[in-house]
Amino acid sequence: MRAFFIGLQFLTRLCIVKQDNWTEQDFGESVKYFPLIGAVLGAIYAGAAYLMTVFLPSCGVTLPTHLVTVVLLVLPILMSGGIFCDGFMDTMDGVFSGRSRERMLEIMKDSCVGSNAVFCFVALMLLEWGTLLDMEPSVLVPALFIMPIIARLMVVIEIRRFPLARPDGLGRMFSDYSTANTLIIALISTLILLVPCGILAYICLAVGTAFSYFFAGYVTKRIGGMTGDVYGATATLTEALVLLTYLIAGRFIQ
């Protein structure tokens, strides 16, 4: 379980068992646990949603809907330390800069935030805001549970199925040191974790997978492959897509 706790410490602000000494191989081995780490986060998000929308109202305490939405919007960013949002913004700055491949990669490594990043981040937050605001508790709780699980599986898919844009960086550690059965383990664990949420969860999984392949293919054409920032962008975009898909599909499937 050492690799699991290393992954948990890296991908979240949770530090159940502090890991100070780790190797690149430890990072690679943690990849197969990404969906399980997502389940830990999903349980926290779903628990927070249940507390604010079901438990407290049953006790006579009703929180403002907009306040609940803000908390649920900000909580994933806080729990991940903003690592995925940072990757998303860097990717948007680079990919939509209209520059050469080499210049795009330079922009993505630059710590400065450009207009493309700001616009895309604000647009994404507004999309998630509107989606969360329109969800009933019966939909909100399971959607928040599966959201980080599916998003992190998509990262595993890209790590194992798509080339790297550069030979160095965080992405290389994940790609080089994850084992051949990493994707199989991650996929099986995801399928099991989604069982309690029923058919809607698997619809979201299918949509997320299709999007992941499309997005990874598009980025590969632009910059030649994946980077750590692109993995973060994939997770961030997939989370928003899962929420939206669950909301829309839930209108047709009860």
3-state SS, one letter per residue, for 130-177? HHHHCCCHHHHHHHHHHHHHHHHHHHHHHHHHCCECCCCCHHHHHHHH
Indicate whether 202 pLDDT > 90.
yes
Q: How far apart are CA 181 and CA 160, in angstroms?
A: 10
Give mean pLDDT, residues 33-61. Answer: 97
Please enumerate in sequence order all residues whose Cβ is within 8 A of that of 52, keeping only pairs 6 or more positions apart, or say none.
63, 68, 71, 72
Measured in Å, how far apart are the chain's first and last C-alpha atoms? Answer: 38
Q: How far apart are CA 153 and CA 229, in angstroms?
A: 16
Q: What is the pLDDT of residue 112?
A: 82
Domain range for residue 243? Answer: 2-250
Coil, helix or strand for 226? Answer: strand
Contact 143, 226 (CB under 8 A): no
Q: What is the pLDDT of residues 99-110, one digit of tens each?
A: 888 899 999 888
% pLDDT > 90, the chain: 70
Residues ≥6 apart with Cβ < 8 Å to 210: none
Q: Are 227 and 147 in contact (CB under 8 A)?
A: no
- Which whole number is the average pLDDT over 181-186? 94
**Where residue 111 falls among pLDDT bands split at 50, 70, 90?**
confident
Place of tokens 């199925």: 161
For residue 112, the tally of other CB atoms under 10 A from its CB is: 8
Q: 162-171, 178-187, 210-219: which has the highest mean pLDDT?
A: 210-219
Q: 9, 15 in Cβ contact below 8 A?
A: yes
Asked if residue 16 has pLDDT above 80, the reply is: no
Nearest to 26 by CA among 12, 40, 42, 9: 9
Is residue 175 predicted with pLDDT exceeding 90? no
Number of domains in the chain: 1
Q: Which of 25-29, 149-153, 176-180 has the highest mean pLDDT?
A: 149-153
